[in-house]
Structure 1
């Protein structure tokens, strides 16, 4: 698949190392999540890739071209800071100003407002918009130049659950058009729902870079209970199907090492005269995998 962006050993030092020798690739048409807690180097990484912050060392290539040229920037739409529009002007007027700055036709305005669900409010002043609407207008402004890549820094920050869902749906619709999207976020649940790939950062270092599916592809675990938990644990151990068996919150957690369905496990235990009062098979969430990574 075509590489849109390739980052090689990128480092940024201020008084301390903020981004530490990270490398990753972004392939065309995917949605990437740059995931990490506040202060992990996400915004600084975006700043370097957009040439608003000078890198200390390392290289990056947009569309095969080293660095970030003026021509490259024309192919990118980005929201790095809080939306900054004229409060007393309408959404339409604000986008007309953005279109003039970007030197793109105003004919795109209605189209991008439709994408973010603001077409019916285009005549309303920006100051009358909710925080979620302001964020959606910012996405519309970033889409005006029909970018091949859309960069969003914490797009759901501060939004209520409804606003988060709206942004998630908008990103999914934009992704369907083939636009490559890179999102920085500390919200694991959102990354898991939106992104196909993830780069996990901690203290400026990349702990993982790859598909979300590969990161969460453990065989999962069972939550179990029975009238005699000690006997259940003994028999589970004898099956040699689990990498670990422990008790948590009055439930037995059996980490699966050999693939087995809940039905098959239940049948095996019935043969040993063990009847379960609780049986649920679960997969590790991105959150669990993330926490394991940052602990290490």
Structure 2
């Protein structure tokens, strides 16, 4: 696939090393998560890629072109800090000012307000908006110039559960239009719900870069339940396709070592006289995989 962004050995040193020799690629049309706790280097990385922070070393290409020049910035919509909207002006008037600065026709305003579900409130003053609405207006502002890439730094920070869900739905909607999105977050759950790919940062170092699904080498696990628990456990062990079989909270958890579909497993067990009352194939959560990665880098 076409590479939108290529980052090679990017490093930034202040009094400490904020970003340490990270490399990753972003392919067109995907949603990437830059995942890590506060202080892991996410905002510094964005700052360098948008040329607001000078790197100590390393390089990057946007759309195959070295660095970030004015023409490149026109293709990128970014929210790194809260935009300075005028509190007494309406959402529409604020976006008219942004449109004039970006050289974008005002006809785009209703389109982007509709995208972030604020069209019905476009005449209301910015100061009357909730925190979630203000964040959605920021996204609308970033979308005005119809960017090819949208960069969002902690877009759900400080929001209540309803606001988080609204932002998540908006990001998913924008992604479906083909826009490449890069989201920085410390929230594992949010990254898992919206991102196809993830770059995991720990103290400025990238400890993983790739698809969310491939983040773990494990093939997942089965949850099973049957009337005869002892027979189920012994039969699963005899199949020699599970690395472990354990009982947990009245369910049998079988870690997969050789991949098998749920229907095939059900058939094999039925042939051994076992009728299952529960069977579900699952993948470890991103949180489990993240903690395992951190554990590996600490060892």
Unmatched 5+ stretches in structure 1 = none
1:197 paired residue number: 197
- Single out whichever of 127-136 and 179-188 deviates more from structure 2: 179-188
- Alpha-carbon distance change, 108 to 15 in structure 1, aligned in 2, over 3 angstroms: same
Q: Aligned with 1:213: secondary structure?
A: coil
d(CA) in 2 for partners of 1:174, 1:123 = 24
Note the 1:179-198 alignment, pairs <5 A: 179-198=179-198
Which string of whole-angstrom CA distances, capped at 9 and with x for unpartnered residues, describes residues 100-157 of structure 1? 2223332321221121111121111001111111011000111111211110011112
2:289 paired residue number: 289
d(CA) in 2 for partners of 1:96, 1:267 = 63
Q: What is the TM-score of this pair, normalised by structure 2?
A: 0.89
Note the 1:35-184 alignment, pairs <5 A: 35-184=35-184
1:255 paired residue number: 255
- Alpha-carbon distance change, 226 to 173 in structure 1, aligned in 2, over 3 angstroms: closer
C-alpha contact 1:83 1:135 (8 A) present in aligned 2: no
Unmatched 5+ stretches in structure 2 = none
d(CA) in 2 for partners of 1:76, 1:277 = 52
d(CA) in 1 for partners of 2:263, 2:112 = 49
Q: Aligned with 2:214: secondary structure?
A: helix
Aligned residues: 296
RMSD of aligned C-alpha atoms?
Answer: 2.3
- Single out whichever of 174-183 and 118-127 deviates more from structure 2: 174-183
Once the two structures are TM-superposed, the CA of residue 229 in structure 1 deviates from its matched residue by 5.3
- Alpha-carbon distance change, 106 to 266 in structure 1, aligned in 2, over 3 angstroms: closer
Q: Aligned with 1:39: secondary structure?
A: coil
Q: What is the TM-score of this pair, normalised by structure 1?
A: 0.90
C-alpha contact 1:216 1:285 (8 A) present in aligned 2: no
Once the two structures are TM-superposed, the CA of residue 238 in structure 1 deviates from its matched residue by 2.6
d(CA) in 2 for partners of 1:212, 1:137 = 29
Q: Aligned with 2:258: secondary structure?
A: coil
d(CA) in 2 for partners of 1:269, 1:180 = 45
